[in-house]
Amino acid sequence: MKIHELETPALIVDLDRMEGNLQRMADYCHEHGLNLRPHTKTHKIPQLAQKQMDLGARGITVAKVGEAEVMSEEGLDDLLLAYPLFGDAKALRLGAVLERARITVSLDSEESLSWVARAADGKSIDVLVEIDVGMRRCGLKPGPAAVQLARLIDSTAGLRFEGLMFYPGHIYPDWEDSSRKLDQLNSDLQRQVEFFEKQKVPVHRVSGGSTPSAFYSHHIPALTEIRPGTYIFNDRHSLEWKTCSEDHCAASVVTTVVSRAVTGQAIIDGGSKTFSSDPLRVGKKGGFGLVKGFPEVQFVKMNEEHGYLKVPDEAKLEVGQTVQVIPNHICATVNMHDVIFGCRGEEVVESWIVKARGKIR
């Protein structure tokens, strides 16, 4: 089956590009002695997580217990739940996952710690204390509080303080102030590690992350592990952040032009329920995707099932024609699809069910 024969809208992945992306990150981590623990929220597909493991990943990262359930059911047995655990049901569910996988959990509060203890129920869970190195999302401010929480972890049956986690989601390669932010991050991390050393609490692991900052990881000496997700496919953000070139964008959505009734405009059969409505958060270009092969066409607006392309007179874009669009944010787009198709050149050669799709709990 050829790509243009797929029923649209359909999310496709160029397997050569994807394999190149996976290899490049694996090589980088190997070269710099970093453990790679890919965030599987990007693809939500156990077979792709397994590919990442086969290329040397130390384990995988998940955001929600539902993702941990899906991944562990399919044999992924070393999971970092990079999200604070809350509630009885989630504790019980994580306890069930613990029967078949090694689990690390991150947290920043005693309240979440008590739920992790409930999940462990005497069995062994590793715990990372999340610290905030500038993202201002979750995480304790670097200082003595993290050490206090680490001690509390170590004094809890089954739990072991393993180290620190942070998310450098505020650092992008082409931002002017990224080197200042990187210096600040290193100084925060160093300060935090010194607090631990002074109190003689050993830090075995420091887990960073994010695709935009991934290839900067060797400038963060404290790091032992990174958790990039997007790198497997890349997207328009990766491109605009100059994390990759267009040749590294492995995923795109095949759509059909369903109306050209309005002058200067083509409507495609994918909108926010196909792409997500994530805006482009970098630069001033705006829009909702890159229309492959049509540099003069802009994806300017969307409704739920309609994408609006602004089409100059000279562009040949006819009703019924298919066009491929690289989405702004591939993690959000994947989550809109039940299935993804893998392609070699123009040939559709395999498909995967997005098994952890919609696992928000």
Binding site for a second copy (CB under 8 A): 7-10, 41, 63-64, 83-84, 86-87, 89-90, 108-109, 111-112, 130, 132, 136-141, 169, 256, 258-262, 265, 267, 269-270, 272-274, 276-279, 303-306, 308, 319-320, 331-332, 335-338, 357-358, 360-361
Angular region, 203: left φ>0, alpha ψ -120 to 50, beta rest: beta
Q: Within 10 A of 7 (CB to CB), how many other CB atoms are there?
A: 8
Peptide bond into 9 cis (omega under 30): yes
Residue closer to a second copy, measured from CB, 141 or 285: 141
Residue closer to a second copy, measured from CB, 24 or 301: 301
Residue closer to a second copy, measured from CB, 200 or 261: 261
CB of 131 to a second copy, least distance (A): 9
CB 7 within 8 A of CB 253: no
Residue closer to a second copy, measured from CB, 112 or 217: 112
CB of 29 to a second copy, least distance (A): 23
CB of 94 to a second copy, least distance (A): 12
Question: Could you tell me the two tokens for 90?
Answer: 């989630």
For the chain, report the end-to-end CA distance as a whole number of angstroms. 36
Residue closer to a second copy, measured from CB, 76 or 309: 309
Helices 144-154 and 178-198, interaxial angle, to 10°?
50
CB 335 within 8 A of CB 24: no
CA distance linking residue 284 with residue 286, whole number of Å: 6
Residue closer to a second copy, measured from CB, 169 or 173: 169
Question: Could you tell me the two tokens for 242?
Answer: 């100059």
Block residue for tokens 């509630």 = 87
DSSP-based three-state secondary structure for 43: coil
Q: What is the dihedral of CA 33, 234, 55, 66, to 10 degrees?
A: 100
CB of 7 to a second copy, least distance (A): 4
Block residue for tokens 């999971």 = 79
Residue closer to a second copy, measured from CB, 20 or 109: 109
CB of 251 to a second copy, least distance (A): 15
CB of 173 to a second copy, least distance (A): 19
CB of 303 to a second copy, least distance (A): 7
Identify the bridge partners of residue 163 per DSSP, sorted by sequence position. Answer: 128, 205
Residue closer to a second copy, measured from CB, 29 or 266: 266
CB 328 within 8 A of CB 288: yes
CB within 8 A of 186, min separation 6: which ones? Answer: 219, 220, 221, 222
CB of 32 to a second copy, least distance (A): 27
